[in-house]
């Protein structure tokens, strides 16, 4: 990282496969950096104290809170946001599962919920619904009551494990 | 296509259709207010009062003004000429309206009230400057207890009112004195519902953009009611409505918190005009939990007279509501406490009733609507008392409910407050839940579990609600807006596209989908062909928004009428073009067919012939036709929805933890448009209601400071503790209901607090516990268990009279 007279520093990272390099104040949160500097507004900010999970992204393959991470901490990192998944006309399997099971209502928690689910599906057995619920317990959804989100993730566990 | 094939076409209404909203929301392409980006945009931060009640003496902005990146700093005086204070008027006798200033002027009335606005290049700089501004206050006595505020005469939240009692209302029917005099049993209780935050996951936000050339304002706001906001701003800024456009883009939940007009919205509108820049304000969670409208916080004294058979003879209710610092616009301070007494009798026949409600101002943020409004509180109180009455009369909880509910042959039934219940499945819902729960076998399990030192409890709650209110029933009496009508405009444009301008403001309900289902069926097109403009004050002459379980009924009614009208117009044009009679034509999949032939015209062909191919229609004929229909719908009174909920809980008396093991809902919202969406609304509402019952509470100290101003302190349910909800639908339909739809978005939150309270009380019966305060937190359960144990009621002892079945 290189400093400038304005106190901004250069950060570079890979975001959804694209190499980016930007000037940013060291105090800027990664969530604000993604949203404001890169225009990737799919990452939402719900509480700014790491409780609600709406801003969850993947950093080097691990789910992190973009509201508790400074942009400069992502120097050299590989970042994945909701925009890295399927597109409006070609949803990926997890997004399709969310749609099929009505696992979203207002959609504000959804990007964070999807990124948390991806991380959990990659790393955890998720053998029972309670395990799925525990894995999602750091993401608040105020609309769905979670029941259909659990169903959507359960479908993906079955697909992953070849049970369907 | 043959007629039989047309009969076999899929009907969209009633189908669990996947949502049109989902692809954009699942891919990060939803556009919420915070996502709006405009050239030269500046950001707003508010200096907020750190005092609950104080006079503003001096504001020092010197240091902040010098900060690089600050465009301007504005106090109440600086914007006073651009936007007037809000005032929620009401025709109710004895009501005291309160002026709500865009920024606090002479004094502050709650912690968090906006005092000064900073406009700067970005939010970081704006907040830096905010922290450099010094406000000197002279503290005034702080009122946080509504009972004390009620009798206080020296300290007034609003001097001009002359009292802290903002409004008081009482009504009823029948001779309650006689009922209580002749009663075999009288049961009574004081029920307290805590103060709650609707807590939409998207915090409040707005963007104002003043266009100097056009002298017009565009406001994006995270609101449920862009139409109410537009009309309020037009009045307060002295502008014609056409020069203010309010847009509610994708909105991240509302639950009632985003249906009132806020000080910040007025301030941002003025700041956009004064700075000449687009200005954005996005609140953080601290601001949201300390300034967004709060809910419930009623104390209910309720007493019930029953005869020896458990038949309710009379009911008396006295409600004290803590409505906070202002009478909220446009709903007024009467909204919550008056609704509590209005709906207290619930789905039961109550011959004699008297209810009285007092709305008292305190130094807390304003009370506003939250999912259910009043009814979560009235249902909690009434359903707790019904369970007490069951014990007194020697009936089961389900037995006393069945005995007192309005029966199918007794509809329409006029309640003691004059609300008319049209035919709804009150008893059918109860029976359906009872069958699913099997209370008799549960009671055996309960006894066995108690012997093992485990405390299971079963609780029921039944309610009825008035939804889809028409022009004869105001959401709050005498309030300054019309909530009883809704307009839809449908047209075929010059390309043949079906375009609907609608007045709803979607914030999670899937209305783009369900309304497209309605239009698709009525018009004879595929759902995908219907394009809906909504959440925007511009396309229609008058709009309000989505609240009060109204959109399925009102928007659905307007869409139905407009689609029927447009269908006739399409057929008229097609008949002319096809030289046929309209009665011989059918519409399927955006194509008009002459039945029994292979002649057909697509909407596109019809639109081209009508709009763009000169000479295709005779000028006289063309002048008498159009492909656009605007219709208003007014359900006049509204329609009854109802449900019975049941919860099975296990309470750990050692830790005070409650596990909700099973949850059942049987509900009647008439004809379902999209059962998948309806189920989702019930699930979400129930889990919010469980939050109300077990976890969530805004706690204020005696200085008026919110001690629960983060999501680590204000605990909403997470996936780990939320139960699955079993939902059954009873679909009562009435011939005089245009669409058959009834409102249902709020019901889950109405039933759950009462059901959970009854279940926890049932579980703790061996401790003699009366659950009369919600949320029933681990601490409160601990206190109940301790008090019960102190009375030497041994755990495990079965001493309850309603464990026997009747």
CATH code, domain carrying A103: 1.10.150.120
Nearest beta carbon to residue A42 from set B28, B676, B684: B28
Q: Is the predicted ipTM greater than 0.90, yes or no?
A: yes
What are the Cα distances from residue B787, in Å, to A32, B777, B780, B784?
51, 15, 10, 5
Residue A4 covered by a domain = no
Nearest chain B CA: its distance from A109 CA (Å): 7
Buried b (16+ CB within 10 A) or exposed e, B559-593: bbbbbebbbebbbbbbbbbbebebeebbbeebbbb
CB contact under 8 A, B680 and A143: yes
User: A14: part of which helix (H) or strand (E)?
Assistant: strand A9-15
Spell out the residues 6+ positions from residue B328 whose beta carbon is closer than 8 angstroms to its own: B88, B260, B293, B335, B366, B367, B368
Shared domain check, A123 and A65: no
Residue B278 makes CB contacts below 8 A (sequence gap 6+) with B38, B39, B40, B41, B42, B207, B208, B209, B272
Instruction: Note the pLDDT of residue B477.
Output: 67
Contact between B551 and B746 (Cβ < 8 Å): no
Q: Which residues of chain B have pLDDT under 50?
A: 1-5, 792-806
Residue A108 lies in a domain: yes
B39 contacts in chain A (CB < 8 Å)? none
**Subunit contact A142:B716, Cβ cutoff 8 A:** yes
Q: How far apart are CA B593 and CA B626, in angstroms?
A: 19
* Domain match, A77 and A111 both: no
Among B15, B17, B28, which would you mutate to test the A interface (most chain A Cβ atoms within 10 Å of its Cβ)?
A: B28
Work out the angle at residue B604's Cα, subtended by the Cα atoms of residues B602 and B609, and round it to the nearest 5 degrees: 100
Residue of B251, B375, B379, B274 whose CA lies nearest to B758: B379
Q: Does residue A43 fall inside a structural domain?
A: yes
In this structure, the answer to whether residues A70 and A100 fall within a common structural domain is no
**Residue A1, domain member (yes or no):** no
Closest residue by Cα to residue B21 from B676, B452, B513: B513
CB contact under 8 A, B34 and A41: yes
Identify which of A52, A81, A114 has the shortest CB distance to residue B711. Answer: A52
The nearest CA of chain A is from the CA of B313 a distance in Å of 38
Q: What is the rounded CA–CA span in Å between residue B771 and residue B356?
A: 23
Residue A141 exposure: Cα atoms within 13 Å on the Cβ side: 35
Cα gap B419→B514, rounded to integer Å: 28
Tens of pLDDT, residues A67-106: 999 999 999 999 999 999 999 999 999 999 999 999 999 9
Q: Which domains does chain B have, with CATH numbers?
A: 3-29+485-633 (3.30.365.10), 33-140+203-251+258-291 (3.90.1170.50), 372-472+637-793 (3.30.365.10)
Residue range B711-746, pLDDT digits in tens: 999 999 999 999 999 999 999 988 889 999 999 999
Question: What is the rounded distance in angstroms from the CA atom of residue B759 to the CA atom of residue B165?
Answer: 35
Q: Which residue of A has its CA nearest to B33?
A: A41
Cβ contact B720–A137 (<8 Å): yes
Within-domain flag for A73: yes
Shared-domain flag, residues A17 and A53: yes
pTM, two decimal places: 0.96
Nearest-Cα distance to chain B for A116, in Å, is 13
CB contact under 8 A, B711 and A111: no
Question: Domain for residue A36, yes or no?
Answer: yes
Residue A32, min C-alpha distance to chain B (Å):
10
Inter-chain contact B27–A42, Cβ cutoff 8 Å? Answer: yes
Strand order in the sheet with B657-668: B455-467, B639-652, B657-668, B726-729
Cβ-contact B361, B98 below 8 angstroms: yes
- CA B492/CA B541 separation, integer angstroms: 19
Query: What residues have CB less than 8 Å from B638, skipping those under 6 apart?
Result: B466, B467, B468, B469, B470, B473, B553
Q: What is the pLDDT of residue B734?
A: 86
The reply to whether A122 and A64 lie within a common domain is no
- Closest CB to B28 among A82, A98, A144: A82
d(CA B423, CA A75): 64
Q: How many angstroms separate the CA atoms of B156 and A65, rounded?
A: 45
A28 within some domain: yes
- pLDDT for residue B479: 81
Which residues of chain A have a CB within 8 Å of the CB of B29? Answer: 42, 88
Cβ-contact B638, B648 below 8 angstroms: no
Range B63-93 burial, b when 16+ CB lie within 10 A, else e: ebeeeeebbbbbbbebbeebbebbbbebebe
Q: Which of A96, A145, A150 to mutate to test the interface with B (most CBs of B within 10 A)?
A: A145
Q: What is the DSSP string of B442-481?
A: HHHHHHHHHHTT-EEEEEEEEEEEEES--TTS-SSTT-SS
Q: What is the pLDDT of residue A4?
A: 65
A14 & A73 share domain: yes
Closest of A124, A118, A72 to residue A98, by C-alpha: A118
- Neighbouring C-alpha atoms within 13 Å toward the C-beta of B319: 35
User: Which site among A142, A149, A151, A156 would you substitute to test the B interface, given the most B Cβ atoms closer than 10 Å to its Cβ?
Assistant: A142
Note whether B382 and B337 are within 8 A (CB): no
Residues from chain A contacting residue B123 (CB–CB below 8 Å): 32
Predicted local confidence at residue A6, as pLDDT: 73
Of A82, A133, A148, which is closest to B680 when you measure between CB atoms? A148
Q: CATH no. for residue A79?
A: 3.10.20.30
Question: Given the DSSP bridges, would you call strands B591-594 and B628-633 parallel, antiparallel or unpaired?
Answer: unpaired
Q: What is the pLDDT of residue B733?
A: 84
Q: Per DSSP, what are the bridge partners of residue B298?
A: B321
With an 8 Å Cβ cutoff, are B35 and A102 in contact?
no
Contact between B30 and B24 (Cβ < 8 Å): yes
How close A151 comes to chain B (CA, Å)?
10
Chain A residues whose CB is inside 8 A of the B720 CB are 130, 133-134, 136-137
Q: What is the total count of domains within chain A?
A: 2
**Between chains, do B32 and A44 touch, taking CB under 8 Å as contact?**
yes
pLDDT score of A52 more than 90: yes
pLDDT of residue B1: 42
Q: How is B647-676 classified by DSSP, letter by letter?
A: EEEEEETTTTEEEEEEEEEEEE-BS-S-HH
CA of B710 vs chain A CAs: smallest distance (Å): 8
Q: Which residue of A has its CA nearest to B31?
A: A41
Same domain (yes/no): A97, A79: no
- Which contiguous run of DSSP H or E holds residue B243? none
Give B604-633 as a DSSP string.
HHHHIIIIISTTSS-HHHHHT--SEEEEEE
Question: What separation, in Å, do the N-terminal and C-terminal C-alpha atoms of chain A show?
Answer: 48
Q: Nearest Cα to B666, choosing from B429, B464, B427, B458?
A: B429
Contacts of B684 in chain A (CB under 8 A): 105, 142-145
With contacts defined as CB-CB under 8 Å, which chain B residues touch A44? Answer: 32, 34, 201-202, 252
Q: Closest partner residue to A142 among B124, B201, B712, by Cβ?
A: B201
Are A23 and A71 in the same domain? yes
| Residue B659: CB atoms within 10 Å | 13
Q: Are the C-beta atoms of residues B194 and B229 closer than 8 Å to each other?
A: no
User: Are B680 and A102 a contacting pair at CB < 8 A?
Assistant: yes
For B683, the 3-state DSSP assignment is helix
Which of B27, B201, B722 faces A54 most closely, judged by CB atoms?
B201
State whether A13 and A80 are in the same domain.
yes
> Does the distance separating the beta carbons of A137 and B22 come in below 8 Å?
no
**Which one-letter DSSP state was computed for residue B700?**
B
In this complex, the residue of A88, A108, A109 whose CB is nearest that of residue B23 is: A88
Backbone angles phi, psi at B29, to 5 degrees: -105, 10
Mutation for A interface: B22, B258, B724, most A CBs within 10 A: B22
CB-CB neighbors (< 8 A) of B680 in chain A: 102, 105, 143-145, 148
Tell me how far apart the alpha carbons of residues B553 and A111 are, in angstroms, rounded to a whole number.
31
Tokens standing for residue B591: 């194509």
On whether both A71 and A99 belong to a single domain, the answer is no
Chain A closest CA to B191's CA: distance in Å? Answer: 26
DSSP string of B502-528, one letter each residue: E----SSS-HHHHHHHHHHHHHT--GG
Tokens 């037009």 found at: B234
Q: Nearest CB to B711: which of A51, A89, A98?
A: A51
Q: Do A77 and A100 share a structural domain?
A: no
Asked if the Cβ–Cβ distance from B202 to A149 is below 8 Å, we say no
Do B253 and A49 make contact, defined as CB atoms within 8 angstroms?
Answer: no
The first and second tokens of residue B693, run together, are 């019952």
The nearest CA of chain A is from the CA of B715 a distance in Å of 10
Residue B145: exposure state from Cβ atoms within 10 A (0-12, 13-18, ≥19):
middle
Q: What is the DSSP letter of B793?
A: -
| Cβ contact, residue pair B711, A47, below 8 Å | yes
Residues from chain A that touch B252, judged by Cβ atoms under 8 A, are 44, 46, 106-109
Which residues in chain B are contacts of A93 at CB distance < 8 A?
none
The answer to whether residue A3 is domain-embedded is no
Residue A107's φ and ψ, nearest 5 degrees, are 85, 0
- Residue B73: CA count within 13 A, CB half-sphere: 25
Q: Which of the listed residues A67, A84, A101 is the one where a domain comes to its end?
A: A84
Q: How long is chain A?
A: 164
Which of B719, B724, B745, B752 best tests the A interface by mutation, with the highest count of A CBs <10 A? B719
Terminal CA-to-CA distance of chain B, rounded, Å?
60
**CA-CA distance, B662 to B650, in Å (whole number)?**
10
Query: Can you tell me the distance from the alpha carbon of B209 to that of B204, in angstroms, rounded to the nearest whole number?
Result: 17
Out of A84, A111, A128, pick the residue that ends a domain: A84
Query: Using a CB-CB distance cutoff of 8 angstroms, which residues of chain B are in contact with residue A115?
Result: none
Q: Check: CB of residue B799 under 8 Å from CB of residue B783.
A: no
Residue where a domain terminates, one of A37, A54, A84: A84
Q: Based on the fold, state whether residues A111 and A129 are members of the same structural domain.
A: yes
A120-150 b/e with 16+ CB inside 10 Å = b? bbeeeebeebeebbbbbbbbbbbbbbbbbbb
Q: Using CB atoms, which residue from B24, B686, B719 is nearest to A133? A: B719
Distance from CA of B677 to the nearest CA of A (A): 7
**What is the band of A163 on the pLDDT scale with cuts at 50, 70, 90?**
confident
Would the CB atoms of B27 and A85 count as touching at under 8 Å?
yes
**Pick from B677, B710, B724: CB nearest A102:** B677
The parent domain of residue A109 ranges over: 93-160
Reference B414, options B233, B173, B604; nearest CA is B173
């Amino acid at each position: 990282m290189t400093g400038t007279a304005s106190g901004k520093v250069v950060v570079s990272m890979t975001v959804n496969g694209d190499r980016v390099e930007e000037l940013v104040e060291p105090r800027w949160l990664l969530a604000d950096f993604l949203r404001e500097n890169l225009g990737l507004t799919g990452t939402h900010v719900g509480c700014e104290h790491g409780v609600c999970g709406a801003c969850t992204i993947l950093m080097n393959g691990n789910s992190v809170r973009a509201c508790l991470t400074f942009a400069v901490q992502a120097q050299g990192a590989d970042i994945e946001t909701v925009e890295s998944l399927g597109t409006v006309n070609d949803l990926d399997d997890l997004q399709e599962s969310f749609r099929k099971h009505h696992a979203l209502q207002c959609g504000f928690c959804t990007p964070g919920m999807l990124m948390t689910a991806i991380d959990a599906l990659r790393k955890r057995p998720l053998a029972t619904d309670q395990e799925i619920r525990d894995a999602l317990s750091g993401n608040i959804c105020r609309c769905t009551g979670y029941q259909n989100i659990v169903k959507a993730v359960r479908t993906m566990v079955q697909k992953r494990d070849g049970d369907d | 296509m043959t007629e039989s094939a047309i009969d076999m076409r899929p009907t969209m209404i009633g189908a669990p259709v996947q949502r049109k909203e989902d692809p954009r929301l699942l891919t990060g392409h939803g556009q919420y207010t915070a996502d709006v980006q405009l050239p030269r945009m500046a950001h707003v931060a508010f200096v907020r009062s750190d005092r609950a009640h104080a006079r503003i003496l001096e504001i020092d902005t010197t240091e902040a003004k010098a900060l690089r990146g600050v465009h301007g700093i504005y106090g109440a005086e600086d914007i006073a000429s651009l936007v007037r204070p809000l005032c929620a008027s009401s025709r109710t006798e004895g009501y005291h309206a309160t002026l709500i200033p865009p920024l606090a002027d002479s004094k502050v009335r709650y912690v968090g009230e906006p005092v000064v606005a900073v406009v700067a290049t970005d939010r970081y700089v704006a907040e830096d400057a905010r922290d450099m501004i010094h406000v000197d206050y002279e503290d005034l006595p702080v009122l946080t207890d509504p009972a004390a505020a009620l009798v206080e005469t020296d300290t007034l939240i609003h001097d001009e009112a002359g009292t802290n009692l903002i409004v008081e209302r009482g009504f009823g029917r029948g001779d309650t004195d006689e009922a209580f005099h002749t009663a075999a049993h009288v049961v009574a209780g004081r029920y307290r519902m805590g103060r709650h935050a609707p807590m939409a996951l998207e915090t409040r936000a707005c963007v104002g953009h003043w266009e100097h050339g056009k002298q017009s304002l565009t406001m994006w706001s995270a609101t449920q009611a862009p139409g109410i906001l537009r009309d309020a701003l037009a009045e307060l800024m002295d502008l014609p409505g056409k020069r203010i456009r309010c847009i509610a883009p994708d909105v991240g939940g509302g639950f009632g918190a985003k249906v009132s007009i806020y000080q910040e919205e007025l301030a941002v509108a003025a700041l956009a005009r004064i700075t000449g820049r687009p200005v954005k304000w996005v609140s953080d969670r601290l601001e949201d939990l300390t300034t967004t409208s709060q809910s419930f916080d009623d104390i209910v004294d309720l007493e019930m007279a029953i005869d020896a058979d458990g038949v309710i003879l009379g009911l008396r209710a006295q409600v004290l509501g803590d409505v906070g610092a202002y009478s909220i616009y446009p709903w007024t301070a009467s909204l919550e406490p008056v609704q509590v007494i209005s709906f207290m009798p619930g789905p039961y026949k109550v011959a004699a009733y008297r209810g009285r409600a007092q709305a008292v101002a305190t130094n807390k943020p304003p009370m506003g609507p939250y999912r259910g409004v009043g009814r979560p509180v009235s249902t909690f109180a009434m359903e707790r008392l019904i369970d007490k009455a069951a014990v007194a009369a020697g009936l089961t909880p389900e037995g006393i409910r069945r005995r007192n509910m309005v029966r199918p042959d007794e509809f329409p039934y006029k309640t003691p407050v004059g609300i008319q219940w049209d035919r709804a499945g009150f008893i059918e819902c109860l029976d359906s839940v009872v069958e699913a729960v099997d209370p008799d076998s549960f009671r055996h399990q309960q006894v066995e579990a108690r012997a093992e030192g485990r405390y299971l409890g079963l609780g029921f709650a039944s309610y009825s609600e008035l939804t889809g209110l028409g022009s004869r029933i105001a959401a709050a009496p005498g309030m300054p807006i019309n909530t009883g009508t809704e307009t839809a405009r449908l047209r075929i444009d010059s390309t043949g596209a079906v375009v609907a301008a609608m007045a709803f403001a979607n914030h999670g309900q899937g209305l783009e989908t369900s309304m497209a289902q309605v239009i698709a069926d009525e018009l004879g097109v595929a759902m995908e062909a219907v394009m809906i403009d909504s959440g925007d004050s511009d396309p229609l002459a008058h709009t309000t928004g989505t609240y009060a379980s109204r959109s399925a009924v009102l928007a659905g009614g307007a869409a139905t009428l407009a689609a029927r009208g447009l269908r006739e117009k399409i057929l008229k044009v097609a008949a002319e073009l096809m030289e046929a009679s309209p009665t011989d034509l059918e519409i399927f999949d955006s194509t008009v067919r002459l039945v029994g032939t292979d002649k057909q015209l697509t909407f596109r062909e019809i639109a081209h012939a009508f709009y763009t191919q000169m000479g295709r229609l005779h000028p006289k004929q063309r002048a008498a036709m159009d492909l656009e229909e605007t219709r208003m719908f007014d359900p006049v009174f509204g329609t009854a929805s109802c449900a019975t909920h049941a919860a099975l809980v296990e309470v750990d008396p050692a830790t005070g933890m409650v596990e909700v093991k099973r949850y059942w809902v049987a509900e009647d919202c008439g004809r379902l448009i999209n059962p998948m969406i309806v189920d989702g609304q019930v699930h979400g509402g129930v889990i919010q209601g469980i939050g109300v019952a077990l976890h969530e509470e805004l706690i204020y100290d005696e200085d008026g400071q919110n001690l629960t101003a983060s999501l680590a302190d204000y605990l909403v349910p997470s996936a780990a503790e939320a139960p699955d909800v079993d939902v059954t639908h009873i679909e009562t339909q009435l011939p005089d209901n245009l669409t058959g739809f009834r409102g249902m978005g709020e019901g889950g939150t109405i039933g759950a607090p009462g059901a959970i309270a009854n279940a926890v009380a049932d579980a703790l019966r061996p401790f003699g516990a009366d659950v009369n305060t919600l949320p029933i937190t681990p601490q409160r359960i601990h206190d109940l268990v301790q008090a019960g144990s102190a009375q030497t009621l041994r755990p495990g002892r079965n001493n309850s009279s309603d464990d026997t079945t009747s």
